[in-house]
């Protein structure tokens, strides 16, 4: 019985040690593959799917959607200047003072003059697109006085008045408000263009990050292959050393090569994971979400292909599509409106006024109010109001300021055209150069591949030591890295050209909805 217990304990300890060793080997394998036990899920993404995720999840795009909404409300606010307004006012007055004149009460002997009065006005006024304002309102007064001269006493008066005020020079046809509405409408176009600018720029950042991520993913794969090959040479050298066919120098060379390549593998893994996290943030993944811990696998391959490059046609398309050009053009138009308004503001003020009132009087409020609409007792008034600041220095300075701002906006528009043209030319030049770079890198990789095959054969025939083979491998993998880097440069240059042309969103099949 004691023997069985001891045997069971020994078996259990052996099993625990074996299990722990197996777990360590599995953990080491996961870490060597760039994985961690808590990063088990993977997400495969193409560049189009990545861009579409960013359209709905990117924070910069979400913030930019408020620009057109704010500008829309600003336009509505400026248009509301022609909304009618209801107005009303009321005053209550109580007077008690010593009698100053017989006119205060009409009779002698009284010492105190008292008067109770209240008045009210209510009506509607309507701003006119002609630069005037029309209003209709009712005045109601009540008077209760100790004076015998007030007949009737108490009394109620009521007046119905129609009034018009019209600008004849300055503000004729409501130039200020009309200009404000036009500028608000232009600002709405600018806000939409600013949204599209951020939208397109974000897509460019996302696509660039995706290609850079795909590049580091490929570099990581190259580094893994390099480590595997170095370990293979190390194992073969170790076997040869055991058989006495190689020395310790060859063993140490093989070990150092393995460790150097592992070091580069670790560096590439850091770049890969850092770029992957940046891509996750760009598409809108929250660092606290479970998806953020998943591994992204790029399914798009870095490749090169021929495209038509007509500089003049691309520039013409860009001037129709680039939001930067639209913003500069709209700003110039807004400056032109302000300049015309400033020139108009130099005119003197000359306003015409006219009013017509129906009047009634009675000892009862209802009687007075009702008689207003049937009364043939009317009064009217017409007049002119003139004002012109002596010297007009303020309006003249304001006009010169607007002239300078208009000229400045023209210069900014010309600068924008030059910048767009430069960006297109730069992108085209980069594409043309990367084609040559890809050809050169591809031929170099093929040549180093042939060299590696020959060095492998010579190593097997023991004509060279392992250092020659390791060097040949390093040259081959470095040439492969250069080829992939050239493909990355081509795709980034092509992306830059599409962005410079203003067709990036359309090329990815996404809508710019603000």
* Per-residue model confidence as pLDDT tens digits over 115-139: 899 999 999 999 999 999 999 999 9
Q: How far apart are CA 135 and CA 85, in angstroms?
A: 9
Angle between helices 466-501 and 311-321 (to 10 degrees): 60
Q: Is the pLDDT of residue 14 over 60?
A: no
Tokens representing residue 407 in the block = 């000229």
pLDDT number for residue 50: 94
User: Binning pLDDT at 50, 70 and 90, where does residue 107 land?
Assistant: low
Tokens representing residue 70 in the block = 């704010």
Q: Is the pLDDT of residue 33 over 50?
A: no
Whether residue 283 has a cis bond before it, omega within 30° of 0: no
| Three-state secondary structure call for residue 159 | strand
pLDDT number for residue 381: 95
pLDDT number for residue 423: 96
- Stretch 169-194: mean pLDDT: 96
Q: How far apart are CA 22 and CA 18, in angstroms?
A: 6
Q: Is the pLDDT of residue 363 over 80?
A: no
- Stretch 288-295: mean pLDDT: 86
pLDDT number for residue 68: 96
Q: How far apart are CA 234 and CA 486, in angstroms?
A: 31
Q: What is the pTM of this model?
A: 0.80
- Stretch 356-374: mean pLDDT: 77
Distances (CA, A) of 234 to 240, 246, 302: 10, 12, 32
Q: DSSP string of 323-348?
A: HHHHHHHHHHHHHHHHHHHHHHTTSP
116 closest CA partner among 80, 156, 83, 85: 156
- Stretch 81-105: mean pLDDT: 87
Angle between helices 248-282 and 175-242 (to 10 degrees): 160
Name the burial class of residue 3, with classes exposed (0-12), middle (13-18) and buried (19+) by CB atoms within 10 angstroms of its CB: exposed
pLDDT number for residue 73: 96
Mean pLDDT for all residues in the chain: 87
Q: DSSP string of 271-329?
A: HHHHHHHHHHHHTT--TTSGGGGSEEEE-PPP--------HHHHHHHHHHH-HHHHHHH
Which DSSP state fits 111?
-
Which secondary structure element, helix H or strand E, spans residue 431, and what is its range? helix 393-460
User: Binning pLDDT at 50, 70 and 90, where does residue 110 land?
Assistant: low
Q: Is the pLDDT of residue 150 over 90?
A: no
Name the burial class of residue 48, with classes exposed (0-12), middle (13-18) and buried (19+) by CB atoms within 10 angstroms of its CB: middle
User: In angstroms, how far is CA 380 from the centroid of its own chain?
Assistant: 58
What is the dihedral sign for C-alpha 196, 197, 202, 204? positive
User: Binning pLDDT at 50, 70 and 90, where does residue 145 land?
Assistant: confident
User: Binning pLDDT at 50, 70 and 90, where does residue 446 land?
Assistant: very high
pLDDT tens-digit series, residues 378-400 = 899 999 999 999 988 999 999 99
Which secondary structure element, helix H or strand E, spans residue 226, and what is its range? helix 175-242
pLDDT tens-digit series, residues 46-59 = 999 999 999 999 99
Distances (CA, A) of 269 to 42, 262, 279: 16, 10, 15
- Stretch 68-75: mean pLDDT: 96
User: Binning pLDDT at 50, 70 and 90, where does residue 291 land?
Assistant: confident
pLDDT number for residue 118: 92
How long is the chain?
A: 514
Q: How far apart are CA 162 and CA 359, in angstroms?
A: 12
Tokens representing residue 58 in the block = 């990117």
pLDDT number for residue 197: 95
Q: By percentage, how much of the chain surpasses pLDDT 70?
A: 89
Query: In this structure, which topology does domain 33-69+182-333+409-507 adopt according to CATH?
Result: Outer membrane efflux proteins (OEP) (1.20.1600)
- Stretch 216-238: mean pLDDT: 93
pLDDT number for residue 514: 61
Tokens representing residue 181 in the block = 């509405």
296 touches 279 (CB < 8 A) = yes
């Amino acid at each position: 019985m004691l023997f069985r217990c001891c045997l069971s304990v020994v078996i259990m300890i052996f099993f625990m040690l074996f299990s722990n060793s197996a777990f360590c080997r599995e953990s080491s394998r996961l870490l060597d593959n760039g994985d961690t036990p808590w990063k088990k899920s993977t997400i495969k993404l193409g560049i189009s799917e990545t861009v579409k995720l960013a359209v709905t999840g990117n924070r910069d795009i979400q913030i930019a959607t408020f620009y057109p909404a704010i500008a829309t409300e600003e336009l509505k606010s400026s248009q509301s200047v022609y909304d009618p307004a209801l107005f009303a006012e009321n005053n209550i007055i109580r007077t008690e003072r010593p009698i100053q004149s017989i006119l205060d009460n009409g009779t002698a002997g009284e010492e105190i003059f008292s008067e109770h009065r209240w008045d009210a006005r209510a009506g509607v006024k309507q701003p006119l697109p002609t630069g005037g304002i029309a209003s209709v309102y009712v005045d109601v007064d009540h008077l209760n006085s100790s004076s015998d001269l007030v007949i009737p006493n108490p009394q109620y008066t009521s007046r119905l008045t129609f009034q018009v005020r019209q600008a004849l020079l300055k503000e004729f046809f409501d130039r200020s408000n009309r200009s404000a509405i036009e500028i608000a409408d232009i600002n709405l176009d600018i806000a939409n263009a600013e949204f599209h600018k951020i939208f397109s720029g974000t897509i460019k950042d996302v696509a660039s990050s995706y290609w850079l991520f795909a590049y580091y993913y490929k570099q990581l794969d190259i580094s893994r292959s390099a480590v595997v090959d170095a370990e293979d040479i190390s194992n073969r050298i170790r076997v040869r050393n055991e058989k006495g066919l190689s020395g310790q120098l060859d063993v140490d060379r093989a070990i150092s090569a393995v460790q150097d390549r592992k070091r580069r593998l670790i560096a590439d893994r850091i770049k890969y994971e850092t770029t992957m996290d940046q891509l996750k943030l760009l598409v809108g993944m929250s660092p606290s979400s479970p998806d953020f811990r998943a591994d992204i696998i790029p399914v798009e391959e870095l490749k090169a292909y021929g495209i038509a490059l007509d500089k003049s046609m691309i520039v013409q398309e860009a001037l129709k599509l680039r939001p930067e050009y639209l913003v500069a053009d709209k700003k110039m138009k807004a400056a032109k409106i302000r300049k015309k308004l400033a020139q108009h503001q130099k005119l003197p003020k000359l306003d015409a006024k006219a009013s017509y009132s129906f009047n009634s009087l009675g000892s009862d409020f209802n009687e007075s109010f009702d008689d207003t609409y049937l009364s043939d007792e009317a009064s009217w008034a017409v007049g002119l109001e003139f004002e012109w600041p002596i010297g007009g220095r303020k309006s003249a300075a304001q006009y010169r300021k607007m002239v300078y701002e208009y000229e400045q906006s023209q210069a900014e528009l010309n600068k924008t055209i030059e910048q767009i043209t430069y960006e297109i030319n730069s992108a085209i030049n980069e594409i043309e150069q990367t084609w040559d770079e890809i050809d050169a890198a591809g031929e170099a990789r093929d040549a180093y591949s042939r060299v590696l095959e020959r060095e492998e054969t010579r190593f097997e025939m023991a004509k060279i030591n392992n250092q020659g083979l390791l060097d040949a491998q390093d040259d081959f993998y470095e040439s492969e890295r250069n080829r992939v880097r050239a493909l990355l440069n081509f795709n980034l240059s092509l992306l830059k050209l599409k962005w410079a042309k203003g067709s990036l969103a359309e090329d990815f099949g996404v809508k710019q909805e603000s």
